[in-house]
A and B are shown apart, each in its own frame.
Chain A
Amino acid sequence: MAANARAISFELNGESVAALAKPLETLQSVLREQLGMTGTKAGCRQGGCGSCTVHVDGEPTLSCLVPVEHVADREVTTIEGLGSAEEPSPLQAAFHEGFATQCGFCSPGMIAVASALLERNPDPTPEEIGEALAGNVCRCTGIAPIIAAVEDAAARMREGEEVRT
């Protein structure tokens, strides 16, 4: 490992971690290569496809454009922190059941942005969903099933709220 690499600590999916980062090494790179979080994808490494989207302090962020230094002491959430096979989030369930995932490569990034959207806007219109997902490229589904899945997830979440309150 290069002499000018530094240890950067941050919170990842609720746990404290440290990564050894070379200057301007990307968050995407350390997530995938050092921290075992390969759910965050590398589709272009130029910020153009959205498949690397994670949350940094709750904001959807393109991890291929973020130096690891910038997330020091901050909270990072990846797709692995947004639900699991045993306990899928409403978004994950909606994507799965609504066939909103085909090759699957864009799905983690889509779900990252959609989950941030639904935290801020629990009843988005299809146009608002499309605008939020404008930076996430899907070459398989034609986006319509994805927008429908986000609407479906929003409805499930609103219903879940009503049941609880």
Chain B
Amino acid sequence: MTTEPTSSLLPTASASQVVAAMRRLVGEQRGPALWLLLLQGGATLAGLVGPWALGVVVEAAAQHRLAKVLVPVVLILLSATILRTLLSWWAGRRGGLLGARVLTRLREEFLGHVLHLPLAVVERAGTGDLLTRATSDVDGLGQTVQRALPEIVIAMVTVLLTIGALIWTAPLLALTLVPAALVLALATRWYLQRAPSAYLRERAAQGRVNGLIQESVEAGRTIEAMRLSRDRVAGVDHAVAEWLLAERATLRLRTVYFPISEATYLVPLVLSVAIGGVLHADGLLGLGALTAAALYTQQLIEPVDVILSWLDQLQLGGASLARLIGVGHVERQPVTDAEPQGEQLDADRVHFGYQPGHDVLHSLSLRPVPGSRVAVVGPSGSGKSTLALLLAGVYRPRRGRVTVGGVDVHQLASERVRAEIVLLTQEHHLFAGTVRDNLLMAAPGADDSALLEALAALDAREWVLQLDSGLETAIGSGGVRLNPGQAQQLALARLLLADPHTLVLDEATSLLNPRTARRMERSLARVLEGRTVVTVSHRLQSAVDADLVVVVAGGRAVESGSHQELLDAGGGYASLWWAYQGTPQAGPGVVAAEPS
């Protein structure tokens, strides 16, 4: 199952879903958003006083009546400057608040969706894609939301009000914006059609360099052993060359776009001065209005540049957003309200395949007596793990049924299934947090004595209490490193605390060394007395104590019975057992049912 392709199984939100989500997110922050608009509007208006004031001074100077206007104008300019400073400061704070709130909401929502993904989706999609979404997409979007959102709002307000001031001062000169806007729109469209993919390529190429270097460090031993050092250096050099190529591609785009936009920014100024100068000569426009208008066109440059420079970021941010929100659009199986009656787990003539026409399980039945121990053994790829996933309700059988207490397991909600059946695999993830956190997740209400009791049952009480802070000790990523045996013990203690009546252990101890695994299974058996335990394992030792051994091969149950019965029957199981024991009764030839 781990070899399933990892892409395409998690949805990406459509454009309309992204827009709807954005509207909702900003809508939730209507207060901060309105504040931002209001404050920035005030700051922009105060900033528009400057050109007006200079216009008045120039006009007055030309008419030699400066003395009258100078003091009031300069006082107005001074107060406007102070007001603008204060309002920009305030708007900056509110803007930051808005970005931070939206981003926090996004983060929390995303994790909420992740936490409630159906197990079947997690199982089939793998965690690679999710991991990318949780890291690069969230980070990429963070940049965009934190800075872009407020900056764009601020810039838009500034542009609109400045255009208003220009129209109010000299409506005719405002028309000079039109040709510039047209050129900019065309150039920007050209750029945006090419930029996002080029930047994605650039980012991927750079990520590849970093990834290769990091891997070279982590796998330093392997690389030295396989004598690959030179290849690695050559590989990174190649990746660096590719990265520079990708950078050159984006640089080419900017080499075209930047000078066009920069030159175009000046067009309104040039036209205003030229047309305004001619108009003034004809007495159609005051010198003050000409001056103020020219300066307003200058003041437009910065906010327009801010908006344009965020556009390509916004496109990339939109793609990240679509991938984040997409996780919330995973289709969910309908859930039943039916309550299981009793503890009987029953797989009845189950057929299942991951791809249509390629069944992995063929009419497989398993009906463990409640409270008994069943061992499922068989070679890799025989369908054992798939059977475990079906028993735990992760997948739905193509034909046949898997029921617990008469209810189809796959129809029960994940939260409901775990009260009945828990599947434990070789993946013993310890979460970053305290030992207590790692145990409490399975039994939120449990007190310390219950936790210690569970640990004691697995011989883990002693070493946990000897850790620096006992149950409070931080473990997992960034915390105290536990050895695989200890990690396993905690994982099993967690299982005990979850307290289901049926456990499915899929190679749960396979990563331990066989001796530890054996001891662990022993203590587990003691603790699990009275529960139904289905052990899926490639190690034959697990089968010795089982009430029932089922040998699965090629997706079918080929042998079943107790260990002794199977030995007496002298089939494949028996010959393998003897080979494993190292006794001369059977040679490898009997084991190899298939040619080697």
A binds B: no
- Residues of B bordering A, CB below 8 Å: none
